[in-house]
Structures are given as C-alpha cells and as structure tokens.
Amino acid sequence: MSVFDTPRPVPSRLVPTLGGLLVIALALPVFLVAGWRVAAWGLAATLWIGVQALELLLARLKSRTSNLAASGVQAFGIFFKAIGLLVVLLAAAATDRDLALGAALTYGLAYTLQLGLSLIAYFAEIPR
C-alpha cells in the first residue's frame, strides 16, 4: 500500500486557516512599506475571508445532510469558490491590472500556505 491508498481521518482546519490568515496579516506591512496599493491587499483579504466563510458554511451544511447530498454541497462549493474568485479577479483586472495582480499574488500565497499546512496535517494523521 502506498501513502495515498491509506485513508486517514480529516484533520482540524484551524492551523491551516491560521497560516493563511498569517500570510494575509503579514502582507499588509509589506504593502505599506513597499508603497504598493493597499486596495490590492484589501481585495485579497476580502476574497480570502469570504472563501473561508463559505467553507465554514459548507462544512456546517455538509454535517447536516446525507452523504449523497453532502457530496453535492461540496462539489457546488468548490465550483462556486473557483468561479467567484475568477470573476472578481477578472473584473478587477479589466479595470486595474496592478490591483488585480497584487490581490491575486497575495491571495495565492495565503492559499498556498493553507494548502501546504492542510496536506502536512492530513499526512501526519495516523492511517485507519
């Protein structure tokens, strides 16, 4: 059996979420010192907090429904998050390229750290 064939319990999302929040928080002083537009940081922070709120809502809905319905809720959530982010960032890029670039890079860094911490937490769990 490989490491990917072994099911593990779902770990807590607290540490990965706090890691992403740390990136968002540390990005603000960088934006201020570098003289970059704080609006880009604000857009990234708003998008990141909105996605986290949506994930929390979907997790609550998932726990209240059957497995089949929960799968549908999860699929809708993943689709809606991706499309929503793209629409907002594309709309920002259409009006102001630098605003969208700063927001996308900041959000991307926060998401990447959150994903990395989630993977570490998952594979650190003892297999069932």
Residue type, 81: K
Judged against a pLDDT cut of 80, whether residue 29 lies above it is answered with yes
Lookup result for tokens 């860094």: 109
Judged against a pLDDT cut of 70, whether residue 1 lies above it is answered with no
pTM of the predicted structure, to 2 decimals: 0.87
pLDDT at 65 (0 to 100):
65
pLDDT at 9 (0 to 100):
85
With contact defined as beta carbons under 8 Å apart, do 43 and 96 qualify?
no
Q: How far is CA 72 from the centre of its chain?
A: 19
First to last CA, the chain: 13
Domain residue extents for the chain = 14-119
Judged against a pLDDT cut of 70, whether residue 100 lies above it is answered with yes
The Cα 44–Cα 12 span in angstroms is 24
Mean pLDDT score across all residues of the chain: 90
The Cα 33–Cα 38 span in angstroms is 10
